[in-house]
Amino acid sequence: MALAKDSGYKGIVIFGEPDYYPRIGFKTCDNFDVTTASGKNFDAFMAIELYENSLDDVKGKVHLSSVFENIPEEKVDAYNQKFPPLRKLKFPEQWE
């Protein structure tokens, strides 16, 4: 977060664990009038302001990089095998 702030960014938007990220200041994106590209909001879609009120003038939809589109699930599974096992979660924007 410090690197992003030092680089002049106003905030950070993530798809993250709703039981963890609020502990370090993230809030659901509906607090900032920000939605997914399809207009959705949900608990794992969060943002954090990198300085006070820095997202007050930022409203709209988050469009992900095309690198995240049409990723074959088997490639994701093969990559995930490199890490210790975790409980797999499915969020509203995944694998549509």
Give me the half-sphere count of Cα atoms (radius 13 Å) on the Cβ side of residue 27: 11
Question: What local confidence, expressed as pLDDT, does residue 88 receive?
Answer: 76
Domain boundaries, the chain: 2-63
pLDDT per residue over 42-78, tens digit each? Answer: 999 999 999 999 999 999 999 988 888 888 999 989 9
* Proportion of the chain above pLDDT 70, given as a percent: 96
92: pLDDT strictly greater than 90: no
What are all long-range contacts of 84-91, with beta carbons under 8 Å and residues at least 24 apart?
91/15, 91/42, 91/44, 91/45
Tokens 């409203």 correspond to what residue? Answer: 59
Q: What is the DSSP pairing of strand 27-28 with strand 45-49?
A: antiparallel
**pLDDT band at residue 80 using 50, 70 and 90 as cut-offs:** confident
Amino acid at 46: M
